[in-house]
Structure 1
Amino acid sequence: MTDPLDEARWNALEEARSNPGEAILGDLFKAAEVAKVMPNTLRVWMSRGKLKPLFGEPGKEIFHIPTVVAVAEAGREARRKRTQKSSPPHSALDQLAA
C-alpha cells in the first residue's frame, strides 16, 4: 500500500514541472506569505497534524503551496461560522433601527 504523502509528493512535483511560472512549492515563509498567515501558524498546524510538508527536515520544510492556501481558507471559513453562531441575538432596539 502506498503512503498518501508519497503520492502527494509525486503529484506536486508533476504540477511544478507542468507550471514552471507558478509558485507550487515553497519553504515555510513563502507558503505563509501566499496563504496570508504567519509562519508560526504553519508551525502550529504542523504540530497539530493539520498540515504536513512534502519534503525537508525540520527547519527546511518544503510545502505544496495550494494545499497551504486551502488549509488557511478552510480555517478562515470555520472561524466565520463559529463567529456567526456565537454572536448575540439582535436586541429589540437594533430591530427597530433597521
Structure 2
Amino acid sequence: MVASLVIGIIFLIAGLGLRYWLNRRKFYRRGPMGAEGFSSYESSVIIKLLEKFGKWVAYGLIIFGLLSLWVYSRVMKEKQQTTVKTEQPAQR
C-alpha cells in the first residue's frame, strides 16, 4: 500500500504544479492595463483552449492524488485496528 501513498503524492504535486504553471503563464501574458496580449487571434484561441484543457487535467490529477492518499490512510487505519485486536488477549 506504500505505492498508493507514493502515487498520491506524485499526482497531487503534479496537479498543483500544473495549476501553478498555467496561472503563472496567464499572469505574465497580461500587460500593464490587465489585458492579455496575443500575437494573433488563432494563437489566442488555441492557447486559451489548451490552458482550459490543462486546467481540467490538473483538477483530475489533484483529485486522483487526494483519493489515493485517502485510500492509503483508510488502509493504514484498518491495519492498525486489526493489529490492536490481535494483540489484545481474550478477556473473561
| TM-score normalised by length of structure 2 | 0.34
Q: Which has the higher contact order (CA 8 A, sep 6+)?
A: 2
Q: Normalized per residue, which structure has more helix?
A: 2
Of the two, which has the highest radius of gyration? 2
Q: Normalized per residue, which structure has more strand?
A: 1
